[in-house]
Structure 1
């Protein structure tokens, strides 16, 4: 049975002594909730947290996208907040994840910024400093959040995604199942464990660092539990198995055609002899799309990969499949299960062209209150007006990045018009002939072997770009030059 403290979760694992691998662990809903929360975390957050703990994330081009955002001059973004939104993206499920026993992203508290001049007039707030108010001034006045005294739920009512006191077993490749004798026997047969004497029971106490390591391992390994708990090291088999050759991504729909309305034009510089993209030149609309990949929750990425009949090297897709396969009775409600299978963007992270088809979550109610308490003037933001004196509060509206109204930000993250150079592995810089020449020189491609090609990016291409940015290090080649296989 899993024991819990404020900063750790304890559980027992059955280990194969001969191979020094985890057969399964036995735990309750608290640890399973933490694992399931992986699916709600934005890609940019995974990279940021992994770097913070010196855990390299080897997932296609994602690191290059994140580094490109870091390196691009803040003045090219519509506001400094737009850059922060990409480097520190928020989760659409963060309200639920605040109740997790172990919070991977606990080091980044939610912040609230208001305009110091016209809070009562426009009633806007932002989670990022210097987002522009309706009056045109930056919202730079930080107000603390008042949470009051939260009611404690009973163990039976507990749980974030799964019901409280529910028991599970978790295999080394993150398959989550209800415990039963038939499941254990089937697992022993699959792993060729014929004698219980070759196994041993070990106790573990995991903290945030170990859980984050499990997340990173799950992206590239089929044995994240063994690698994290037992420090078993498998042979590396990362996403760039076929470097610079591209991968074939199946179309999402058979016979579908590109929607010409709302497409984006991109110029490709192609090596004719090798049939690979050397680099591309495009405007801010295309780079807005690529940068928005950092705000995408991991679970949405996995779903897109499944829809395209592609597969991952790691075990994170097994975790996603476990959510699909578990009976609804194990979840607190169908809504909690849907949060994991179809995670949404945080409000305000909705890229304007909507090419990816991802939805954004609903805003929570927030209130600004100002009142006198014990001879001192108090200003707070609260999500529950019962925590502040009656008549002292006004409802707030979430303000996104630079926009002229309180609707979803359709302008993207970058100022325009701006042109960029984008390499095949999605290193992005403001357009530079010198950078383009250096790419050709590094690839040893002569000028006589290149040609230009204009392509259009619609919903189909955007979805394929998202998948390839996660699966390989030659995203542009995979999407625009590798033709999907057709049945003979």
Structure 2
């Protein structure tokens, strides 16, 4: 993988006369590729690279995803089918990670893809099984070879020059990016850009030059998730004091756009939701391992995949604009290949990452062509169980998706500290979770630190406590 952290970009930026707002920035195709690559990053990878860059104390809070990821880190490996299962969730892969080496500045911190394959020779077939889980094939004996027959195959790739073909956009193109991350080709023309972006004071605008390096790109990734004006935040130092987003959750009343894609095999999961009746506050949720695995599966979904599932209507407004620009503002001729637009607007989950407990209509990337021979099949999950977590087990989940093993003693102590009268002021409601509820939780998790309340409380009727006489 190329070491590209020293790469820099020169941006021509137009700001208003008061120097309080970025109107737009003009960038080359390499910078546009980096911005579009945000959509290909799995949610867990975003949390990981931001934590690594900022450190635990300064890392931004991305909705409830940050606490969900930290819960995964802290959950003992004994809860997982194998250690490889946990590591796969902690280090979610991208379906296009083998192409990141062609991005001039790689923020994803991906390693070359590794696949495990058997050494078995059967007639003219060289191999019978392949997996992304290092502790999988030899345990399930899926290939019939028995133990000690596995070799690791790491795809060695020559580091390509950053000035070569782009990953998403053609090299000859230049683009304009608005403060809220609309992106459109420079060839749209000045009047077109002003009209599309709704700029009203362009006649008094001032041009400045700004240099973006690795640190600024990381700040842009963070700001795009927690701000509606990420360029002004960075370039004009208008960033909010808080390190987390404050945005009103917008519940989705209908997910009709996905009716044809719903997984026909999806099952309903059962939650026990514990609520304080006097305040209608969600205290915690008691859930089985299938629901916890569903939550952890969020970390494998690319950001563009979340946008697709929610029809570009997440509460991360800047990311919505970036996503919808691909469909509405950038003509096909500016993309590098005919299928680039589809790969950005509906990125697949990496191969071997969709468990039996997923509720959402996700699509998994196929194995690379290297492994597409007729004799190959994929051992998708450790021990062939189709899941990450061992079961049956029960877990405690807080409103911001902190997951811990269920411990009645600790729950009781917590309620007592909050002076909550358990018998009079606490109600337990059983709730079914299907695809619609699952999408609501995903939407809330991206920006809200009260994901379960935002997603579920509208579906619960709470019995108010009787007034004291």
TM-score w.r.t. length of structure 1? 0.79
RMSD value over aligned CA atoms? 3.4
The residue matched to 1:201 in structure 2 has which SS? strand
Matched, 1:165 2:172: yes
Structure 1 residues 317, 153: closer, same or farther in 2, change over 3 A?
A: closer
Tell me what 2:190 maps to: 181
Deviations 1:268-292 (A, max 9, x none): 1122222232111121111110110
User: Could you say if the C-alpha distance between residues 436 and 170 of structure 1 is closer, same or farther in structure 2, counting changes exceeding 3 Å?
Assistant: same
Offset of residue 183 of structure 1: 3.0
Cα distance in structure 2, aligned partners of 1:311 and 1:112: 33
> Does the 8 Å CA contact 1:320/1:341 hold for their aligned counterparts?
yes
| Higher share of residues assigned strand | 1
Q: Which runs of 5+ in 2 are unaligned?
A: 461-469
Partners of 2:134 and 2:263 in 1: how far apart? Answer: 39
> 1:48 aligned to 2:55?
no
Q: Partners in 2 of 1:260 and 1:241 — Cα distance?
A: 34
Query: Does structure 1 residue 366 correspond to structure 2 residue 370?
Result: yes
Q: Could you tell me whether the CA contact under 8 Å between 1:112 and 1:127 is conserved in 2?
A: yes
- Cα distance in 2 for partners of 1:287, 1:225 equals 36
Per the alignment, residue 35 of structure 1 pairs with 35
Secondary structure at the residue paired with 1:357?
coil
Deviation, structure 1 residue 216? 0.8
Q: Secondary structure at the match of 2:169?
A: coil
Task: Give the alignment of 1:124-203 within 5 angstroms.
Answer: 124-133=129-138, 134-135=140-141, 137=147, 142-147=152-157, 158-179=165-186, 180-186=189-195, 190-196=199-205, 199-203=206-210
Deviations 1:55-101 (A, max 9, x none): 52322210111011011101111111111111110011223333212
Deviation at 1:432, TM superposition (A): 0.8
68, 92, 105: which one aligns with 2:95: 92
Q: How does 1:159-308 map to 2 (within 5 A)?
A: 159-179=166-186, 180-186=189-195, 190-196=199-205, 199-204=206-211, 206-234=212-240, 236=242, 238-241=244-247, 248-253=251-256, 262-306=267-311
Matched, 1:401 2:407: no
> CA 1:119/1:430 → structure 2, altered by over 3 Å: closer, same or farther?
farther
- Measured after TM superposition, the shift of residue 306 of structure 1 is 3.9
SS at match of 1:425: coil
Per-residue CA deviation, residues 329-388 of structure 1 (Å, 9 max, x unaligned), is 222344100111111100111121341111111211336xxxxxxxxxxxxxxx9xxxxx
Moved more, 469-478 or 11-20: 11-20
Question: Structure 2: how far apart are the matches of 1:99 and 1:75?
Answer: 38
The aligned length equals 438
User: Of residues 84, 91, 109 in structure 2, which corresponds to 1:81?
Assistant: 84
User: Is the partner of 1:177 in helix, strand or coil?
Assistant: strand
Greater shift, 463-472 or 128-137, is seen at 128-137
Q: In the alignment, does 2:114 pair up with 1:112?
A: yes
| Higher share of residues assigned helix | 2
Retained in 1: the 8 A contact 2:263–2:360?
Answer: no
Per-residue displacement from partner, 1:436-456 (whole Å, max 9, x unpaired)?
Answer: 224424544220211222111
Partner of 1:415: 390
Go from structure 1 to structure 2 and tell me whether the alpha carbon gap of 1:342 and 1:74 turns closer, same or farther (over 3 Å shift).
same
CA spacing shift, 1:443–1:40, aligned 2, 3 Å: farther
- C-alpha separation between the residues in 2 aligned to 1:183 and 1:261? 46
- Partner of 2:456 in structure 1? 480
Q: Contact 2:226–2:447 at 8 Å: present in 1 too?
A: no
Q: Distance in 2 between matches of 1:63 and 1:167?
A: 34
What SS is found at the alignment partner of 2:226? coil
**Pairing partner for 1:468 from 403, 426, 444:** 444
Where in structure 2 are the equivalents of 1:319-398 lying within 5 Å?
Answer: 319-325=322-328, 326-366=330-370, 398=378
> Match for residue 415 of structure 2?
440
Counterpart in the other structure of 1:376: none
For 1:80 and 1:139, the matched residues in 2 are separated by 20
| Alpha-carbon distance between aligned partners in 2 of 1:302 and 1:344, rounded to the nearest angstrom | 12
Q: How far apart are the structure 2 equivalents of 1:349 and 1:6?
A: 33
Give the Cα separation in 2 of the matches to 1:120 and 1:9.
51
Distance in 1 (alpha carbons) for counterparts of 2:252 and 2:418: 24
Q: Distance in 1 between matches of 2:61 and 2:149?
A: 37
Determine the C-alpha separation between the residues in 1 that align with 2:112 and 2:418. 44
Worse-matched range after superposition: 266-275 or 41-50: 266-275
Q: Which runs of 5+ in 1 are unaligned?
A: 368-382, 384-392, 405-409
